[in-house]
Structure 1
């Protein structure tokens, strides 16, 4: 499989990258509860599927649910089966995914670029980039979609360039099959459109078109992706097609799920932030990068993902996550190019970053790489990231009554100093190689600080603490006013009914996604008449609205956990 012979050092680097990312992304993962609204859906679905021994069809709230394909649920079910149902077991597949993504980044770039230093820095920059760090800590489908999309990007390029065409196109299509099992049709449609655009714009020869639609590649895709879809259709018929393909794919693309959050500028702001602390080098490579076929290929991928999701009606911050793959590669190339430019005193575009022997894997180079202006290009985004993170944590803690502000302030101050010290040293003694390593060290310290500081703040997005306070019997009824917290079902094992003021006002998204038990205010009042064993949970922001309803006449405020107020039946 290796077009480039891998040496013992390559395998050591792969192992080191894997161990580093397992440790970095697994550290303190056990302190993070399962959060709403997305993580709890996946975790509860896996638990529900194990309870019903449903290994083919996704389930939630004891009924079939066609929101996402099966791959992520299989991973969660496997982890729960091996290690028991716990928050850490739920996060373990995604910690492994972070490590696999870093290792695959090294493998893919070593395969294509044929130089070890570029591959190594691609993996390091990926592991320390902000959006990758954020999403890889979450229970989401996007991490594995990222992994399989890497496979499509690398193998398709090698195949289109004529290197072991059949093998690489089959691997690219097999990767697309796994992406479709992870995220749905977009796992094939998006990379397919990008590859068609690349060939149409920059190749335009019959042979390349034939390689792109290689029949054995299409067969590999069909063998990987289609069996599950065929079985689902045979078991569930048009219900699966209408909800999975209709609601969760076509409707999501054409009707905004959260219209109030569909800001046209969202991805334009997210793109430079997602690449922090390396954004400066990304911009440098976009300006000075050699306009060869590889550069055009990466740019087509990056812009293709960006444009595709800007055209979608529904917008999420995770949608453009795939942009990181091409842009982090360009970022690492920007570093190699900048280093070569300073070391050899030649124009940046004349520096060869592909298929050239590296000067040093870790850049132990002489002082010729000094440059104050270029040093700032590397360091300023890192200073910005530290400032955003520290201020963000501080502001987030102000909304949490249970967080000790004085202790947090001390911890943040010490952490900020530790983060800034490597950057200041690199600023005082400007040297590009030193600065790059200082940014990597500073960012690693920052992420450890965030892993220590965030759990008390993240608690507000979960009902773990609330569940611990509840004394429940098998007959206890639980209701949630207006909002809904799936994590409460996950942590208590009890059904929770959502109270909706006006069911007739539900949007197409509410009707399609609200598969949990739902009652109107009037029906809830009938259900609790004469009952003495129930709780109604009211978000603090809706307390005034709840007190105006007839439900408040039957209940009294019991206590508050985080920003959730618990009401119980009035004493009679």
Structure 2
């Protein structure tokens, strides 16, 4: 009963944290708006099978994230809060599941609770918990897959655990594609080889599990092939999976140390303890739990390091085993009297507080940062006092609480204004409710389509080629030539980002338009009535 109550309180408190201020956090470009608009079109068209954007089929991601967003839109309406609800919900579920799994493998309530607190307050985790992307959902399903596989290898009733793992893998494949099965398969196989327990392969590859996976994952893919044929395979598997793995979308990021730098940053303020946990694992090589978790986190990083295209969120699933390793290490540290070892926690925590304070210099906002500076100063003083003179036993809990408070302040005063600078929500409110012609010049804002409901083409010159090259298939926004758009003399508007404003003003046709509003780095131009072309 106490365990269930703890899990309920963990879920509700983390859900409250992750959903805080979401109603005020606008959908941003260029990533979030693609997911939000696709789900919106799913609701409006009633087509819940084939993802589409701008009225055209779009095979960037599988269906799961769009289903979840569309369901949220149906429940809460097509709002910012609804768009961010699934990520917050699944993140809260991941924190709760961390506690449950920690109890299972460590049989220690304190370690399980510390692990869940670590996960909830890690830098990347709480940021992604508020974003309209697939990562928080994939994180949850991948964590269940690998956790259940481990329990299936080590416990009685193994077939049930392994079957649950296959079911979760099926849901992961519906969320992100083949990686939802491939990565867990590599991790579990590598663990079996490292531990040299070859007989465990019999427990992993079971027909009920494979059948459950196919029942969940296969129908949508089969239906998509029936509806769209090789176009679906070429775009989804070819462009968005195989090509990203073999051709770097951002060549400057394709360096071997990319995740070696980003992953410790993503774990702040707990990154020092993660490094410390590697020493703990070396001393306890007989612990199958620690070996499994270490293999899980390290192999995830290696796997994505080998991929040509690199994104900061790709190794996000490694945060789950990392949080458990950190929770275990913190529990061990609390049983020691060595105060010096706690610098592994205090220094990264202080660094994070300083980073949050310095971020105010780079975030455009009219809000006052005074309370944040005071909070950071008091928090750093408290951490240093605990480190040098006080009782360090409760230092992890204190840092978790401080992190939550500072993050809430940063979200309100920082992330919301920052998202507004990357969103067309405000400028869309200046558009007529209907019967206008809207176009976009230069940088394209999908959020303008999401908020306004207008079909907004990107203006191009007649001699300008359509998107060509390796990644041409990613760009699906509608286009229209400048001559075609300006030849229609009905009420017309053009959205221009500030960085494209000079180029726009140098266009001969810009004389036909006059600025009527500027909101968050986007200017709205209206066609001048009775202009003599």
Normalising to structure 2: TM-score of the pair? 0.94
1:270-301 CA deviation, whole Å, 9 max, x = no partner?
A: 11111111112111110123123222211211
- Asked whether 1:107 is paired with 2:100, we answer yes
What is the match of residue 295 of structure 1? 290
Verify the 8 A CA contact 2:369 2:413 in the aligned structure 1: no
Deviates more, 1:535-544 or 1:64-73: 535-544
Out of 343, 347, 350, which is 1:383 matched to? 350
1:256 aligns with 2:248: yes
Post-superposition offset of 1:260: 4.5
| Matching residue within 42, 48, 54 for 1:55 | 48
Whether the 8 Å CA contact 1:158–1:164 is kept in 2: the answer is no
- C-alpha deviation, 1:421, in angstroms: 4.6
Post-superposition CA distance 1:532-569 (Å, at most 9, x none): 42222222222222333333343344442221222332
Aligned with 2:310: secondary structure?
coil
Which residue number in structure 2 is paired with residue 409 of structure 1? 369
In the TM superposition, 1:8-157 aligns within 5 A as: 8-157=1-150
Equivalent residue, structure 1, for 2:387:
427
| d(CA) in 2 for partners of 1:339, 1:203 | 33
CA distance, structure 2, for counterparts of residue 259 and residue 532 of structure 1: 44
Deviations 1:406-459 (A, max 9, x none): x52323323323533532442343433122122112111111111221212220
By how many angstroms is 1:242 displaced?
A: 1.3
Give the number of equivalent residue pairs. Answer: 525
- Give how far 1:510 is off: 4.8
- 1:353 matched residue in structure 2: none
Question: Counterparts of 1:542 and 1:388 in 2: how far apart (Å)?
Answer: 31
Contact between 1:67 and 1:248, CA under 8 Å: does it hold in 2?
Answer: yes
Distance in structure 1 (CA, Å) of the matches to 2:254 and 2:516: 38
Give 3-state SS (helix, strand or coil) of 1:380's partner.
helix
Aligned to 1:395, the other structure's residue is in SS state: coil
Partners of 2:105 and 2:479 lie apart in 1 by 53
Q: Which runs of 4+ in 1 moved over 6 A?
A: none
Q: Which moved more, 1:386-395 or 1:410-419?
A: 410-419
Contact 2:11 2:93 in 1 (8 A): yes
| Structure 1 unmatched ranges of 5 or more | 1-7, 343-368, 398-402
Alignment of 1:310-459 (within 5 A): 310-340=305-335, 342=336, 369=337, 371-397=338-364, 403-404=365-366, 407-454=367-414, 455-459=416-420
Residue deviations 1:145-177 (CA, integer Å, cap 9, x gap): 111111112111122235322111111111111
Q: What secondary structure does 1:496 align onto?
A: coil
Q: Is 1:233 paired with 2:225?
A: yes
How far apart are 1:31 and its partner, in Å?
1.2
Name 1:552's counterpart in structure 2: 510
Say whether residues 1:534 and 2:527 are aligned partners.
Answer: no
Preserved CA contact (<8 Å) 2:360 2:369:
no
CA separation of 1:276/1:79 partners in 2, compared to 1, >3 Å: closer, same or farther? Answer: same
Work out the CA distance in 2 between the residues paired with 1:500 and 1:213.
54
Instruction: Please give the secondary structure, in 1, of the residue aligned with 2:361.
Output: helix
Does the 8 A contact of 2:33 with 2:446 survive in 1? yes
CA–CA distance in structure 2, aligned partners of residues 159 and 203 of structure 1: 17
RMSD over aligned CA atoms reads 1.9
Contact 1:415–1:449 under 8 Å retained in 2 = no
Question: What SS class does the counterpart of residue 473 from structure 1 fall into?
Answer: coil
Contact map agreement 1:69 1:183 (CA 8 A) in 2: yes
In the other structure, the counterpart of 2:467 is 506
Q: Is the 8 A contact 1:57 1:64 kept in 2?
A: yes
- Choose 176-185 or 109-118, whichever is displaced more: 109-118
Q: C-alpha displacement at 1:472, in angstroms?
A: 4.5
Is 1:172 the counterpart of 2:177? The answer is: no
Q: 1:561 aligns with which of 500, 519, 529?
A: 519
TM-score where L is the length of structure 1: 0.88
Q: Is the 8 A contact 2:247 2:309 kept in 1?
A: yes
1:90 & 1:256 partners in 2: Cα distance? 30
CA distance in 2, matches of 1:408, 1:101: 34
8 A contact 2:357–2:372 mirrored in 1: yes
Distance 1:500 1:208, change over 3 A: farther
CA distance in 1, matches of 2:323, 2:50: 36
Q: CA deviation at 1:529?
A: 2.1
Match of 1:489 among 444, 449, 452: 449
Contact 2:426/2:519 (CA < 8 Å) preserved in 1? yes
CA distance in 1, matches of 2:509, 2:306: 43
| Residue-by-residue CA offset, 1:220-257 (whole Å, 9 max, x unaligned) | 11111111111111222212111111111111212222
- Within 1, Cα distance between the matches of 2:505 and 2:422? 24
* Aligned equivalents of 1:508, 1:217: Cα separation in 2: 41
CA distance in structure 2 between the partners assigned to 1:94 and 1:298 by the alignment: 24
3-state secondary structure, aligned to 1:227: helix
Matched residues in 2 for 1:309 and 1:458: separation? 28
Which residue among 515, 518, 525 is the counterpart of 2:476?
Answer: 515
**Native 8 Å contact 2:250 2:309 kept in 1:** yes
Contact 1:305 1:323 in 2 (8 A): yes
How far has the Cα of 1:14 moved from its partner?
0.3
Q: Aligned with 1:66: secondary structure?
A: coil
